[in-house]
């Protein structure tokens, strides 16, 4: 069996930075550290940190006063920052800079009197954080049908933004519907769907044609991982989103000659290699890695953490 291994896959620059940020915080302060929401949406990663003693919280009130709190890669609203301040928490912001960019765009448009149509998934941590920047000036839409329901006057000052991890194709349909209904709507200065989402989707779109089966490593609550699985399914290939090798089922591989393997931006390479090991042993799989795009993106650790590192080095 041929194992067609997509490249790029797995960790993006934002996830790498957030995980390194938490690792470094633990190194400096011990594991009595709190994280607002999952640091990234991946079970393996969250389990690893939980076993080290990190506590993940969904409410600021669950964090003891004066403790260290990290904001996850998905970003938070100003209300959360204010609550953390008033609780005397020492916060470290591991928000991906590409999410921060969308926050800044929302603030800029709202200040300039625009109403913002945000294309994203209701309830996703990133969407909650972005909407919190200007709640009275943002309306969320998920589909072209939602766009039909909008009732802004024809001359309304409008701009649109998108969640960073959407399907490029589906977001394009929503943007098309918005532009047909409101031809003057302002586009973001630069694409909001991030490079990592775009590149991983492009790889699956390109490689799924050669495969009989698509396996995506990632957690069910990972937006970008789900999109990869959906792209596989829309290519009419059986497609499965799994956290790891333990979820592989023998019947998936009956009559399969080529399996495409990829991983969402929050899935670590170790879970990919575990799956490859199993497929190699069970079905004599041979790996054929195909690079569809080169990636050379990295982000520095948050400045508050770098400052703490410098202060420690001086002591």
| Nearer Cβ to ligand SF4 (18/134) | 18
38, 105, 126, 230: the active-site residue = 126
Smallest distance, Å, CB 176 to ligand SF4?
23
Strands 90-93 and 68-71: parallel
Q: State which residue, 188 or 285, has the beta carbon closest to ligand SF4.
A: 188
| 296 touches 238 (CB < 8 A) | no
**For ligand SF4, how many residues bind (rule: CB under 6 A)?**
15
Q: Which is nearer to ligand SF4, 54 or 265 (CB)?
A: 265
* C-alpha to C-alpha distances, 102 to 95, 265, 308, nearest whole angstrom: 11, 18, 27
Print the binding letters for residues 79-98 with ligand SF4: x by CB under 6 A, - otherwise.
-----------------x-x
Name the minimum Å distance from CB 62 to ligand SF4. 24
Q: Would the CA dihedral through 16, 18, 21, 23 be positive or negative?
A: negative
With beta carbons less than 8 A apart as the criterion, state whether 178 and 160 touch.
yes
Considering only residues 5 to 64 of the shown chain, the ones binding ligand SF4 according to CB under 6 A are 12-15
Q: Considering the complex, state which of residue 197 and residue 239 has its C-beta at the smaller distance from ligand SF4.
A: 197
Residue 9 Cα to chain centre, angstroms: 13
Tell me how far, at minimum, the Cβ of 309 lies from ligand SF4, in Å. 22
Please indicate whether residue 83 is annotated as part of the active site: no
- Of 116, 111, 145, which Cα lies nearest the Cα of 131? 116
Using CA atoms, how far apart are residues 315 and 299, in angstroms rounded to an integer? 27
Give 3-state DSSP helix, strand, coil % of the chain, rounded to 5: 45, 20, 35
Residues 207-236 that bind ligand SF4 (CB under 6 A): 224
**Which one of residues 72, 91, 130, 164 is an interface residue with ligand SF4 (CB under 6 A)?**
164
In the complex, the residues that contact ligand SF4 under the rule CB under 6 A are: 12-15, 73, 96, 98-99, 164-165, 194, 196-197, 224, 265
Known catalytic residues?
126
């Amino acid at each position: 069996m041929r194992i067609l291994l997509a490249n790029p896959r797995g960790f993006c620059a934002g996830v790498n930075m957030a995980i390194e940020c938490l690792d470094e915080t633990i190194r400096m302060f011990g594991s009595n550290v709190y994280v607002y929401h999952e640091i990234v949406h991946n079970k393996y990663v969250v389990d690893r940190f939980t076993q080290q003693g990190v506590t993940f919280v969904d409410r600021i009130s669950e964090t003891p006063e004066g403790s260290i709190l990290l904001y996850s890669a998905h970003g938070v609203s100003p209300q959360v920052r204010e609550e953390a301040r008033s609780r005397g928490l020492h916060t470290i912001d591991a928000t991906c800079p590409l999410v921060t960019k969308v926050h800044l765009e929302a603030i800029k448009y709202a200040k300039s009197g625009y109403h913002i149509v945000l294309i994203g998934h209701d309830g996703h941590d990133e969407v909650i954080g972005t909407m919190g920047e200007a709640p009275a000036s943002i309306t969320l839409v998920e589909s072209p049908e939602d766009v039909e329901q909008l009732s802004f006057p024809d001359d309304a000052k409008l701009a649109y933004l998108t969640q960073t991890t959407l399907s490029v194709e589906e977001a394009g349909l929503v943007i098309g519907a918005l532009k047909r209904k409101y031809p003057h709507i302002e586009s973001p200065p630069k694409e909001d769907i991030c490079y990592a989402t775009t590149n991983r989707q492009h790889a699956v779109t390109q490689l799924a044609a050669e495969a009989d089966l698509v396996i995506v490593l990632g957690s069910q609550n990972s937006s970008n991982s789900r999109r990869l699985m959906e792209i596989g399914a829309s290519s009419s290939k059986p497609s499965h989103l799994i956290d790891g090798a333990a979820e592989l089922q023998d019947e998936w591989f009956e009559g399969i000659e080529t399996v495409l393997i990829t991983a969402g931006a929050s899935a670590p390479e170790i879970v990919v290699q575990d799956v490859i090991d199993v497929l190699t042993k069970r079905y004599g799989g041979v790996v054929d890695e195909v690079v569809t795009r080169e990636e050379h993106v990295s982000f520095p650790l948050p400045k508050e953490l770098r400052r703490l590192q410098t202060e420690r080095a001086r002591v």
